[in-house]
Chains A and B, each alone.
Chain A
C-alpha cells in the first residue's frame, strides 16, 4: 500500500506543478475559440521597426476594442512568415519589403488589399506600382527607399553632372592625397547588384524585358543583350583594372564607414546611412546618381516597405481594416514618419515633412527615375549569377563571357 500512497502523492504533486506552471499563462489564451476570431490582432515585423509600430498598433487596438500584439522576428522574416503561415501559426499582418510579394503570393501567404481610387491616388505612383503584382495591389506601402549619391561637400562643393565628372573629381582628390578612394559603392568580394544598379542601368543594362502590361517578364532575361554587355564593359572600365572606382575591397561592412572617415568623397547609399553620415562632422549633400556623359539616366532600384494581410491569419477583417483603412491615413503615416524617418509613401505625409527633413525629400528626388525592384519570384534567380558576373568584370574579366554565363545560370534557375 505504501507504494501506492507514494505514487499518488507524487502524481498529485506533479499535476499541481504542471497546473501551476501553465495555468496562469495558458488557459485564458486557450479558452476563446480561435477559429471564430478572438478580437486579437498579431503583427510581425523586424526588430528595428517593432518599437516604432507598437504605439500605432496599440492605438488601433484601443480604437477597435481589440488587443494587438507586435512581435519582432529577428531574421529571415520572409521565410519565417511563409513557413509559419503554412502551419497555421503565422500573424494577421506582416510588414516587409515589396520584393517579397511574388514569393508570398506563389505560396498563398498574402491576400490582395482593396484600396479605393482616392486611397491609391494619395500614394506616390512608384509606391503603388511597387506593391502591384499581376494587376492586384497586395500591400499598403508606407515608406520608400532608394540609393542616391552622397558627397562630402567640404571636398566636392557641386554635384557631378556625369559619372565621368564624378570619376575625375575623385581622381583629383586622390592625387591630392585628400582621399584614398575615388568612390565608395558597396560591392564587396561577392558583388552587389543592388548598389551598382544605378551605374549598370545608366550604362544601358537591364535584367528583364517587360510584359504587355509593363511588368518584368521572367521569360525574357536581358542580362546578355548587347546593351547589357556594353553596360558590363563600362563597369569593367570603372573596375579594378580600369579607373578603380568599383572595388571588391569595399563592401557593405566598410562602405559607409570609409565615407565617414573621409577615405572617399562619394558614397552610393540609401537613407539608412544618414545616422552615420550626420555624425561624421562634415558637410554633405544628396543628389541623384548621375548618368554617363553619353548614355541614359541612372535608375536606382526602389524599395517599398509595406503592410500585408496574411491569407491564413485568424483575424482577417481586422487585418484588412488595419492595412487598408488605418495605415493609409495621413495622420498615421505622419506619426510613423516621425518615429522612423524614412521617405513616406503617402504623398500628403511626404509633403508635410518636407520642411522638417530635407534629406528625406532629396532621396525621393534622387529616386524619381528609379524603377521598383522586380517583385517576381524570378528576381531571386538574378542576384547570385549577376553579382558573380559583375565581380568578374570588375576584376577585369571579359564582359561577354560573364554576361552569357549569368544569363545561362539565371535561365536555368527560373526554368528549374
Chain B
C-alpha cells in the first residue's frame, strides 16, 4: 500500500506555472509530508531499520574493501564507478522517494555487472590479438625483452653483497669471493674500501665510514635495491637477492629512433604494429609481444580459414542435434515421471521424488567422470552389460552416449519444474475434459500439455541455451573425440564451444583470447537468434491459450 500512496502522490503532483519556484517547493514540501506519514508508520518496525542498516553496511563495506586495491593499481575509472554506484545505492535507500527504483536498482546493477559488462568486454576483446604473448603493452614487452637479455659479463666476479649506507645514500659493499677485496658501489661507480671486516660467508660486518644495514631493514627497501645499479666499464652491478651481486649487461636494448630492438651482436628486430611483435629481417619474432587492435581479423579468420570454417557447419549441425535432443529427452522423461507421480493414486511420492532428485544433487563433474569410466571399452559397466564395444571411440555411439549421460544429468531438473507447473493446472479442467469424453491421452495432449508449456517454454529455451554451450559434458566425457585419423582439429562430438576452446589454444595452454572472443560472438548471435524466435513464438502461444 505504501508504495501506491507515495507513487500516486508524486505522479499526480502539480507543477503549476513556468515560474513556479515557490509553488514547486511547496508541492515538494507537501509530498514530504505524505512521505513522512508513510515513514512514521514504517519507523515503528525496528526490523526495518536494522535490515536497512545491515544492507547499506554491506554496501559500504564492499566499497571500503574495494578502495585500497583500486587505488593501488590506479584504476581510477573503476574507482569512480564503484564510488558512484555506492553513493547511488546509499542515496536511494536513505531517501523516502524513488520507490520503484528501490526495487529495480539491485537487479539492474547485477544485470549490468554480470551480463552486460562481460558481453561488452567479449566484443571489445574480439577486435584485439589479446592472448598469450600479447597480454601487455608495448612498454611492458620492451622491459621484459631487455630484462631477460641481461647476462653476466664474462669473467666478472660473482660478488657477495652487503647493503650499507653512507651519508644517507645507499651503497653496495661488494666482496670478491676469490680475493676478499672489498669495494663500495654507488651510482658513481666502484671504489675500493680498506680495512673492512668480512665474515667467513662474505658478509661485510663493519667498514669505516659505512653503516651496514641489517637484513631485515634492507628487506623493507626492496624496490630501492632492485632499482640500484652500479655502473662499470663492462655493464652494471646489480643485486641478486640481498646477499649476492653480479656484473651484468643487457644484450638487447630498445631504440626509439628506429622503433626497434637492437643487439650489439648484430640482431635487429623492428616493431610490427599489426602483429604486435618485434620482427627481424627473416620474419622471426622475439618471444615477447604486445596487444594490438586487429580490426575484424579474428572474425574473417573464423569465416575464411579453411581449417576452421571447413568444419564449422558440421559442428553446428551436431551442436543443434545435441542441444535439441538434450532438451527433448530430458523434457520427455521429466514429464513422464512428473505425470506418474502427479497421479493421486501413487503412494510414497515424497520418497520417489527424493530418489529422482539425487542425480541433480550430486556434483556434476564427478558424475561425468564416472559415466566416462562406465563407457570404458574393456573395464566399463556398459561393456559388461551390452558386450565389449569402443563406445566413446565410435562416432555414433559416442554421440548417443553423450545424450544418454545428459539425459541422466538433466531430467531431474525438468521433473522438478514440470511437477511445479502441474500443480498449477486446475484439476477441474482435466476432469471436465474427461467428462466431455476425452481419452487420457487427448486430455493430456489438449489440456495439460498446453497449459504446462505456457509456464515452461521460457525454461525450455534457457535449457536449450545451456545445452547449446554444454562444455562440461563434452570436455569431461569425450573431449570432443573420437577424431578422424586425418583431422585432429575437430572431433565427432565437438560442440562449438569445445571446438572454440581447442582452436583458441586453451587446451594447449597457449591461449588466444581475441579469437576465442570472436567465436563467442558468433555463438552469442546464434543462441540469441534462436531464443528470440522461440520467445516470440511462445508469446503467440500464450495469447492463444490464456
Residues of A near B35 (CB, < 8 A) are: 3
The one of A108, A404, A413 that contacts B288, using a Cβ cutoff of 8 Å: A108
Minimum CB distance partner of B152 in chain A: A114
> Judging by beta carbons under 8 Å apart, are A249 and B505 in contact?
no
Whether A152 is near chain B, meaning CB under 8 Å from some CB there, is no
In terms of DSSP, what is the predominant structure of the interface of chain A?
A: helix
Q: What's the A-B contact tally at a CB cutoff of 8 Å?
A: 265
Whether B542 is near chain A, meaning CB under 8 Å from some CB there, is no
Min CB distance, A411 to chain B, in Å? Answer: 11
Give Cα distance in the complex from A108 to B144, angstroms: 5
Residues of B147-178 whose CB lies within 8 A of A: 147-152, 158
Whether B141 is near chain A, meaning CB under 8 Å from some CB there, is yes
A22 and B148 in contact (CB under 8 A), knowing A249-B377, A316-B226, A317-B225? no
A36 and B68 in contact (CB under 8 A), knowing A321-B243, A377-B132, A391-B483? no
Residues of B near A405 (CB, < 8 A) are: 485-488
Residues of A near B40 (CB, < 8 A) are: 2
A-B interface, 8 closest residue pairs, ranked by CB to CB distance from nearest: A65-B216, A37-B222, A321-B241, A108-B144, A17-B57, A380-B508, A18-B60, A388-B488
The one of A2, A22, A89, A112 that contacts B36, using a Cβ cutoff of 8 Å: A2
Minimum CB distance partner of A315 in chain B: B222
Give Cα distance in the complex from A19 to B214, angstroms: 37
Flag B289-326 by CB within 8 Å of A: 1 or 0 each.
10000000000000000010000000000000000000
> Judging by beta carbons under 8 Å apart, are A254 and B216 in contact?
no
Minimum CB distance partner of B225 in chain A: A317
Flag B478-505 by CB within 8 Å of A: 1 or 0 each.
1101110111110000000000001001
A325 and B243 in contact (CB under 8 A), knowing A108-B141, A380-B505? yes
Which one of B46-54, B110-118, B344-352 contacts A? B46-54
A385 and B378 in contact (CB under 8 A), knowing A6-B39, A311-B144, A324-B244? no
Which one of B413-421, B429-437, B451-459, B509-517 contacts A? B509-517
Which one of A98-106, A269-277, A285-293, A353-361 contacts B? A98-106
Residues of B near A15 (CB, < 8 A) are: 60
Whether A206 is near chain B, meaning CB under 8 Å from some CB there, is no
Give Cα distance in the complex from A63 to B216, angstroms: 8
Flag A383-411 by CB within 8 Å of B: 1 or 0 each.
11100110110010110011011100100
Minimum CB distance partner of B508 in chain A: A380
The one of B240, B369, B478, B481 that contacts A320, using a Cβ cutoff of 8 Å: B240
Give Cα distance in the complex from A406 to B481, angstroms: 15
Flag B87-101 by CB within 8 Å of A: 1 or 0 each.
000100011100000
Whether B72 is near chain A, meaning CB under 8 Å from some CB there, is yes
Minimum CB distance partner of A189 in chain B: B392
> Judging by beta carbons under 8 Å apart, are A381 and B221 in contact?
no
> Judging by beta carbons under 8 Å apart, are A388 and B57 in contact?
no
Residues of A near B240 (CB, < 8 A) are: 113-114, 320-321, 324-325
Minimum CB distance partner of A380 in chain B: B508
Interface size on A, residues (CB 8 A): 97
Min CB distance, B332 to chain A, in Å? Answer: 29
Give Cα distance in the complex from A250 to B220, angstroms: 54
Residues of B near A318 (CB, < 8 A) are: 219, 222, 241-242
The one of A39, A384, A398 that contacts B502, using a Cβ cutoff of 8 Å: A384
> Judging by beta carbons under 8 Å apart, are A22 and B65 in contact?
yes
Whether A30 is near chain B, meaning CB under 8 Å from some CB there, is yes
Minimum CB distance partner of B489 in chain A: A409
Residues of A near B147 (CB, < 8 A) are: 111-112, 311
Residues of A near B510 (CB, < 8 A) are: 103, 377, 380-381
> Judging by beta carbons under 8 Å apart, are B378 and A247 in contact?
yes
Whether A13 is near chain B, meaning CB under 8 Å from some CB there, is yes
> Judging by beta carbons under 8 Å apart, are A320 and B239 in contact?
yes
Whether A134 is near chain B, meaning CB under 8 Å from some CB there, is yes
The one of B94, B241, B482 that contacts A325, using a Cβ cutoff of 8 Å: B241
Whether B73 is near chain A, meaning CB under 8 Å from some CB there, is yes
Whether B248 is near chain A, meaning CB under 8 Å from some CB there, is yes
Whether B194 is near chain A, meaning CB under 8 Å from some CB there, is no
A-B contact pairs, 29 of them (CB 8 A): A11-B90, A18-B61, A21-B64, A37-B219, A63-B215, A65-B219, A78-B509, A82-B132, A82-B135, A86-B135, A87-B73, A88-B72, A106-B288, A107-B136, A108-B143, A248-B377, A254-B379, A314-B223, A319-B241, A321-B242, A325-B240, A380-B505, A384-B488, A389-B488, A401-B486, A404-B486, A405-B486, A409-B489, A413-B508
Min CB distance, A6 to chain B, in Å? Answer: 6
> Judging by beta carbons under 8 Å apart, are A3 and B222 in contact?
no
Whether B197 is near chain A, meaning CB under 8 Å from some CB there, is no
Minimum CB distance partner of A85 in chain B: B135
Residues of B near A89 (CB, < 8 A) are: 69, 73
Minimum CB distance partner of A23 in chain B: B64
> Judging by beta carbons under 8 Å apart, are B221 and A37 in contact?
yes
Flag B62-104 by CB within 8 Å of A: 1 or 0 each.
0111001100110000000000000000100011100000000
Min CB distance, B390 to chain A, in Å? Answer: 7
Whether A10 is near chain B, meaning CB under 8 Å from some CB there, is yes
Give Cα distance in the complex from A25 to B373, angstroms: 46
Minimum CB distance partner of B95 in chain A: A7
Min CB distance, B366 to chain A, in Å? Answer: 12
> Judging by beta carbons under 8 Å apart, are A249 and B214 in contact?
no
Residues of B near A395 (CB, < 8 A) are: 390, 393
Minimum CB distance partner of A88 in chain B: B73
> Judging by beta carbons under 8 Å apart, are B226 and A317 in contact?
yes
Whether A190 is near chain B, meaning CB under 8 Å from some CB there, is yes
> Judging by beta carbons under 8 Å apart, are B39 and A253 in contact?
no
> Judging by beta carbons under 8 Å apart, are A248 and B390 in contact?
yes
Residues of A near B72 (CB, < 8 A) are: 34, 88
A402 and B144 in contact (CB under 8 A), knowing A22-B61, A65-B214, A189-B393? no
Min CB distance, B52 to chain A, in Å? Answer: 6
Whether A322 is near chain B, meaning CB under 8 Å from some CB there, is yes
Give Cα distance in the complex from A413 to B132, angstroms: 13
Give Cα distance in the complex from A247 to B379, angstroms: 12
Min CB distance, B484 to chain A, in Å? Answer: 8
Whether A26 is near chain B, meaning CB under 8 Å from some CB there, is yes
